[in-house]
Structure 1
Amino acid sequence: METFDEDPYVLLHKARAGDRHAREEFTRRFTPFVLRVASESVGRYVALGQDDESSIALMAFNEAIDQYDPGQETNFLTFAETVIKRRLIDYLRRETRRRQREFLISPEKTEEGYPDSFPVSLQERQAVEIFNRQQEASERKEEIALFKKRLEEFGISLPDLARSSPRHKSARRRAMEAARILAEEDSLRESFLRHKMLPLKELEIRTRFSRKTLERHRRYIIAIALIYVDEFPYLKEYLKETDSTVERG
């Protein structure tokens, strides 16, 4: 079937329906876009067929084709960019851990075989610690940028979120509970992500919190739910700390 002159979003629809040729053509057309996103994510030029990051990014692009919901207001390329960046962050995090292990435990063959480890100097340990802190800071910065973009899809800015966050522990506890239920229950989560708004009626029934309470803390509930739903490991860790603090209070 000829696909070369077709509209890209016709190709996307066909690709999602299982048309292998349409998927190949759609991916081919947007390979420059994929490589640009990959290069921006890792901070250097990524070449097709030469860098592992290009393969990771193309697999993520195909994952985005399968996961994209045309009913959402989000543009496909915006959605694909988010998926690509997340997969590259996961990949870089794994590579960082692997390199650290190789750096600290580097087998060197002797007459007796391969030793389990070798002595590491204080300077080498400090170098690893500095690298680890720098890598974590970079990952946190990238995660905040992705979170900010995700919030904007729901009409929320970080300053909006800061201004509307509950001040009292009891209010935070209720809002976090509502967000957790919203993220964990399939029907609520699907409605939330599709319409980009809280399913207030259903959420009111599930949580038994008043509609007024849910509306008052709408931005905060949305933000916490997105952290639960999406892959934001550092923000999730922050949530755990906040949750334990609220419980102790």
Structure 2
Amino acid sequence: MEQLSRNSMAMNRFQEPGFLLVRAQEGDDTSRNALIKKFTPFIMRVASNVSGRYVRLGSDDEASIGLIAFNEAINNYREEKGVSFLSFADTVIRRRLIDYFRKESKAQKVLPLSSFEDRNDESGEDVSNRLEIRQAQETFRIENEATDRRAEIVQYDKLLRDFGLSFAELVEVSPKHEDARRRAIDVARLIAETKEYRDYLKVKGSLPLKALEKEVDMSRKTLERQRKYIIAVTVIFLENLEYLKEYINKV
């Protein structure tokens, strides 16, 4: 019984983070993998905090970067520097994620390299580190949004061509007066929300003028004159084009 107890204590010691860290630094891959597995929740938590959203293992780049950074921390940690391993790993993960945000947002000129100086607030958190993370996140978000807008416009242009229209000619066909634009947008929204009308548009490629004339406060002649604009706006609603719909809703 005593022998079993000693064996159990020995096994537990082999699973302790400090022991695993030493063995991993000595080249034991089994200990390295065990250490990474043991602290995967910690890695995901740090990555999520830096990213400002929940990071999922196996589906988010930030998760992979966090794991690689933790592995790097194992290689480079030195106990004599007086910092705990997890604090050191936290800093390495944050630095690698910031580098990732910089690269993705192409913001090297906007965000200078940081030396991560030890300027702490009352909570003990590095203020310069926290500020740089926020800057990187914001620049990354803006760049992503600009990319998404460009992609949406390309998609929209392709959709318009099915109706013999193009994104470039929308300026020409747009009603000049605000009230007229607003009424045309209301007609487009009605078409998108009415199955009979949107089916007609998809099949015929034109407006159901006869039916619309009876339902909206707009003459047939005006409907015909604003046909291209109404179809173009209807496509935005039908395809739920987020950025273009945001612009239309402001009108």
- State the TM-score, normalized to the length of structure 1: 0.50
Q: CA deviation at 1:102?
A: 4.4
AA at the equivalent of 1:217: Q
Work out whether residues 156 and 167 of structure 2, in 8 Å CA contact, stay in contact via their aligned partners in 1.
no
AA at the equivalent of 2:187: A
**Any unmatched runs of 5+ in structure 2?**
1-49, 56-61, 67-85, 87-124
Which residues in structure 2 correspond to 1:66-215 (within 5 Å)? 99-102=51-54, 121-215=130-224
Counterpart CA distance in 1 for 2:52 and 2:225 is 46
Counterpart CA distance in 2 for 1:100 and 1:144 is 28
Q: CA deviation at 1:231?
A: 2.3
After TM superposition, where is structure 1 displaced by more than 4 Å over at least 4 residues in a row? none
Q: CA deviation at 1:99?
A: 4.8
Work out whether residues 170 and 229 of structure 2, in 8 Å CA contact, stay in contact via their aligned partners in 1.
yes
The number of residue pairs the alignment matches comes to 136
Counterpart CA distance in 1 for 2:193 and 2:237 is 8
Any idea what the Cα deviations from partners look like across 1:37-77, whole Å, max 9, x if unmatched? xxxxxxxxxxxxxxxxxxxxxxxxxxxxxxxxxxxxxxxxx
Which has the higher Rg, Structure 1 or Structure 2?
2
> 2:247 maps to which residue?
238
- State the TM-score, normalized to the length of structure 2: 0.50
**Any unmatched runs of 5+ in structure 1?**
1-97, 111-117, 243-249
> 1:61 maps to which residue?
none
Q: CA deviation at 1:139?
A: 0.5
CA RMSD of aligned residues (A): 2.7
> What secondary structure sits across from 2:197 in the alignment?
helix
Q: Percent identity?
A: 41
AA at the equivalent of 2:158: K
Q: CA deviation at 1:176?
A: 1.0
> What secondary structure sits across from 1:209 in the alignment?
coil
> 2:227 maps to which residue?
218
